[in-house]
Amino acid sequence: MILVLQKNTPEPAIRQLLAQLALQNVKGGCVAGETSILLPLVGETWRLDPAALQALPYVQEARRLTPAYHLAARSTHPENTVVPVGDVRVGADFCLIAGPCAVESAHQIQTVAAAVKAAGAVMLRGGAFKPRTSPYSFQGLKEVGLDYLKGAKKETGLPIVTEIMSPYMIERFVEDVDLIQVGARNMQNFELLKELGKTNKPILLKRGLAATIEEWLMAAEYIMSEGNENVILCERGIRTFETYTRNTLDVSAIPAVKKLSHLPVVVDPSHAAGLWWMVEPLAKAAVAVGADGLIIEVHNNPEAAWCDGAQSLKPDRFAKLMGDLRGIANIVGREL
Ligand code: PEP
Ligand code: MN
């Protein structure tokens, strides 16, 4: 970080400022320039708030040279992070996660699990606790849904991915869930993030509906700063002025995040588009721009789905998509 002070800043004021910064494990130099005084700062600068520094007397500007999300940043950790989920090494192997939006019955989740496994999925998704816009919509089978997911895991061997909505469920999720999903609506539920940070479970952190890339990486930092570095990011579309699609898939966020962070990034084309027929081209785009995986909604009977049927693929289409994705993966030098 660098501080730019007014040229006329008195020396005692500079000394006082440096002493204050030292209390926060930040050391500073002092370089007198033509029109200003520069204080390059080193140490735990991620603790500092540039806006607060800028409000101090004589400070003209406070500028970060390294990101505040220092644990998630590639600049402090150049190698890709690999997050193990069961036998899957997310970030090294391309991972395909599939399953229904919501768990509806033991039979439904077993049927879909067997179908997506046969098509090549390596993890099973399915919501037991559903964050719905309306309180009158189906809210999920809750704990019973988790039991059914566990049953499907037992049958197929697929690790399970499901969404947590509240810290009070953490103990049960740590016990039964392989990859804990934090949904878009909870991306800035900081208490939930901090509690998940105290576990060692892999976390799938979805991007918030209107979150910038920096806010998303800062959310990852909340989990990591508590000690859990097993974070996988998920781009699932952001809200824009466009209403034709449910959200707008931010394809550019994928290479951007791969550049800014060492964490794996998976893409959810189902929630991005909201339309089943758009899932295939968006999934191909995600593979082409460097995503580490995909999470796709698949339902055995989308017309009768209790949630998100319009964006769900039937198992046979999902199987065909797998084949098409292999072709794209070959072109961009990835194995699928
Ligand atoms: C989901 O994956 O079922 C879901 C609710 O996704 P999002 O949080 O991205 O809306
Ligand atoms: Mn859904």
pLDDT at 204: 99
| CA-closest residue to ligand 1 atom 3 | 101
CA distances from 185 to 109, 132, 154, 216, 246 (A): 24, 10, 30, 12, 15
Mean residue pLDDT of the chain comes to 97
**Span of 26-35, 178-187, 235-244, 305-314 with lowest mean pLDDT:** 26-35
- Rounded to the nearest whole angstrom, what is the distance from the C-alpha of residue 104 to the centroid of ligand 2? 13
Q: Which ligand is nearest to the CA of 307?
A: 2
Q: Is the pLDDT of residue 148 over 90?
A: yes
**pLDDT tens digits, residue range 17-26?**
999 999 999 9
- Rounded to the nearest whole angstrom, what is the distance from the C-alpha of residue 180 to the centroid of ligand 2? 15
**pLDDT tens digits, residue range 226-280?**
999 999 999 999 999 999 999 999 999 999 999 999 999 999 999 999 999 999 9
Confidence at 146, pLDDT banded by 50, 70, 90: very high
Q: Is the pLDDT of residue 335 over 90?
A: no
| Closest among 312, 245, 274 to 102, alpha carbons compared | 312
Q: Answer yes or no: are the C-beta atoms of 219 and 250 closer than 8 Å.
A: no
